[in-house]
Chain A
């Protein structure tokens, strides 16, 4: 049992960023030449070529018509055969929704547990992963012999640290049968576009009293548009009729938890806070350095939002080009 298997994911024929990060983790763990990158699907030639051009070791194309679309059964069956064939010491996955769907069952087939969501690997093979929703770190070590199954968190192992090389490409056709796939997945779809869907917006720009007048709202709307996000407002803005009630975020409005919440001209009164404190990243822009919003913000800019917001819009547009 030796070598490291890395299961890469492809999206529309291209290898995903987090798959490169999984490879970076593998290169951290062991010799790059013993790493085998695995890509699955009905068609794997293009992604395999992409991999082979960037890493050393081997690229294994696991190709079968039943592997697209993704099903847990399909991947488990195929990967079990791959693992039995390759006999790696370690299998590394990117920690994606898809991996969480099949990898634990795959590991269980080998009487192992997947060490998931790893953010660091120490010299002596201790895997660090977050506990208590990121408030603590736990150090895990394998206590039994057998294959080590690991999934790595996005952003933990920079893709840039992948050791360059040129790999050989191998084709493998797993043995599987349609009757073994017990679930029938449908086509992915997006939620129906609604006028305001703050609950599912990933980016929200919230505007408060600091905007001073209704005429100034467009600068906030432009920022939201540039970020591809939604506009929301604190209660006084909706009270004054500058934005409809559906835009209200707060204790008597929506509760949101987007990836990014930019609070522009919002002081941070409790009614608004309770509606957005769950946001993953909070950026506060306010003229008052003592505004309570800065206490819960991850990033803060003390300044006039009439200047900062348009500057931010310009910077975002530039970054997106």
Chain B
């Protein structure tokens, strides 16, 4: 039983003049679109090849495409209200693809969908639903951008966004309007022409604006690097990182041109939120502006007019930007690439940075302390030496080996492992995994550290590693792959969660908030395991920004080894947020987070207790 719904009205007959005008309009519009788009395409294709790019395995790419492009999962998931509005616009565009094609062909008698035919009628009616949703969505987004004016969309009002919004609105309303007119009426023809004009004014605008993402972002998401903060290996003897246009690769260029300027990256950036000049959106747009002005063959430095070195070195590599991006831009390889360009050529002139590098050139740890200090700790704590027979190698790391608090965490983890009867040993000698120098872009030092450590692990026949530091986990598991095959490694939260049933069930009654470390949460997708352990201490509450939204402690990216930060202390902002939950205990799972938060809470006499989850687990022991 067919509902008596209105049908789409279309002019039935087009004069020769109209057909001519239409032909000129279509051809002209497509021509200008192509002219402009081919420039962009040219710049992307003329960029350097990504030597490490692998199309396969293709499964994850298809899966991400389906989820993030077709289902708009990230768009909606991370900003629900605006996200749904955008998703409606996107789905409408998808639905309208056929409608639009038919629209352009039917004046020439080549139309394939008729409003009076069965398929056509249903299709047009479905499209109408989308059109209504889209019109509603785009109107809402217009109000948001021009009246509500959220901070991360930028200070300046974008006329081009307004124009596009208007065009889209026109496209949808002119379509919908034709459901209420008759085929032969002049209103129908007027609506038809307005729709057509809107369409072909829109088309050539796309390549020169952020609406290029309509064309590019499906490719950008499909062609991602295949990991989180995936830093590409340097290609050959003359590659030192992103120094000039000639170093920009096709992926970087593609991503730069895909930016929709939504500002989600900047909204969640801890540096930007505390008064630093770093703005992840501007980093990407700076690369885009560079490509627009100079192209991928230019030798002009990327850090200069288009982006500043100071901003690039304010990044904690927390990953909030890359995680949030709905069009698949990978900010971290770009930022680290810019840092590499400065550090690998010696143009980064920073006292603290130089001291960190010089210390690791000749020493074994990032803190510049004598390895005998680590030996003394191992002796005092009576930690067994790894001899190849134990199940785990307990990797101390710089904090676990030298920081008084890190040592406490290691000691407690050792107690738990002993209680569980899990065998482990510590290596006689460890060198820093190289995490800070990797994130700061010093490839020379990183390679040396990675290779020496890999050789040591192989020599000691290490089969499995457990460690207390998410930075060590990430660097050993992912970053060392470039130079060898690291043994599998897990973070102590993963280990403890697995063994929870074997720990005594006594529960405390604290109110406890868990701070997700960047390198455990966003980098490794581990959110529940540490919470399971933290919950041993009592009732779990969440900070305002938690799980993948967790706000950085400020130590990452090598920044904990650099000098004082400008603006507000990132650690203090996060500490205040954790304290505001009213928790009596703050649980950490990273010795760097622990160190930063400890400092931030130092002058607060009523600060909650700050513990690592290993300490919570150890408290359970008899």
Contacts and interface: CB of A to CB of B under 8 A. Distances in A.
**Is A–B contact present in the complex under a CB 8 A cutoff?**
yes
Interface of A: 209, 235-236, 239-240, 245, 248, 251-253, 255, 267-271, 273-274, 277, 292, 295
A292 to B, nearest CB: 4
Nearest to A272: B599
Given A252-B563, A252-B564, A255-B355, A270 B599 contact: no
A295 B595 CA distance: 19
A59 to B, nearest CB: 47
Interface string B601-615: 011000000000000
B50 to A, nearest CB: 37
Nearest to B356: A251
Interface string B384-408: 0000000000000001001111100
Contacts of B355: 255
Nearest to A270: B403
Given A253-B564, A270-B367, A209 B404 contact: no
B561 interface: yes
Contact of A274 (B369, B404, B602): B369
B352 interface: yes
Contacts of B457: none
Nearest to B406: A270
A248 B565 CA distance: 13
A239 B367 contact: no
Contacts of A277: 369
Nearest to B408: A292
Given A209-B602, A236-B603, A245-B564, A270 B399 contact: yes
Interface in B348-405: 352, 355, 367-369, 376, 399, 402-405
B404 A252 contact: no
Closest 10 CB pairs of A and B: A236-B602, A292-B404, A270-B403, A240-B603, A252-B564, A274-B367, A252-B563, A236-B603, A235-B599, A274-B368
A24 B556 CA distance: 57
B360 to A, nearest CB: 13
B545 interface: no
B598 interface: yes
Contacts of A236: 599, 602-603
B560 interface: yes
A251 B561 contact: yes
17 contacts: A209-B603, A239-B572, A239-B602, A251-B352, A251-B367, A251-B560, A268-B404, A269-B404, A269-B595, A270-B402, A270-B403, A270-B404, A270-B406, A273-B369, A274-B367, A274-B368, A277-B369
A199 B595 CA distance: 25
A253 B367 CA distance: 14
Contacts of B376: 295
B574 interface: no
B595 A270 contact: yes
A165 to B, nearest CB: 47
B562 interface: yes
Given A252-B563, A270-B403, 18 more contacts: A209-B602, A209-B603, A235-B599, A236-B603, A239-B569, A239-B599, A239-B603, A248-B564, A251-B352, A252-B564, A253-B563, A253-B564, A267-B404, A270-B367, A270-B399, A270-B406, A273-B369, A274-B369
A254 to B, nearest CB: 10
Contacts of A273: 369
Q: How large is the interface on B (under 10, 10 to 19, 20 to 34, 35 or more residues)?
A: 20 to 34
Nearest to A290: B404
A240 B367 CA distance: 25
Interface of B: 352, 355, 367-369, 376, 399, 402-406, 560-564, 569, 572, 595, 598-600, 602-603
Contacts of A295: 376
A56 B352 CA distance: 56
A271 B599 contact: yes
Nearest to B403: A270
A235 B600 CA distance: 9
Contact of A269 (B369, B572, B598): B598
A248 to B, nearest CB: 8
A54 B303 CA distance: 71
Contacts of B404: 267-270, 292
Nearest to B368: A274
A252 B598 CA distance: 15
Nearest to B563: A252
Contacts of A235: 599, 602
A35 B144 CA distance: 96
A290 to B, nearest CB: 10
A215 to B, nearest CB: 14
A10 B399 CA distance: 50
A248 B563 CA distance: 11
A38 to B, nearest CB: 42
Contacts of A239: 569, 572, 599-600, 602-603
A50 to B, nearest CB: 44
Q: Which of A267, A268, A273 has the most CB of B within 10 A?
A: A273
Contacts of A252: 352, 562-564
Given A274-B367, A274-B369, A269 B564 contact: no
A175 B245 CA distance: 70
A240 B406 CA distance: 25
Contacts of B564: 245, 248, 252-253
Nearest to A278: B368
Nearest to B370: A277
Contacts of B369: 273-274, 277
A235 B355 CA distance: 19
B266 to A, nearest CB: 25
A273 B405 CA distance: 13
A271 B598 CA distance: 11
A42 to B, nearest CB: 44
A82 B368 CA distance: 48
Contact of A271 (B352, B595, B600): B595
Contacts of B352: 251-252
Contacts of A267: 404
A239 to B, nearest CB: 6
B519 to A, nearest CB: 19
Residue among A239, A270, A273, A292 with the highest chain B CB neighbour number at 10 A? A270
Nearest to A239: B603
B242 to A, nearest CB: 27
Contacts of B399: 270
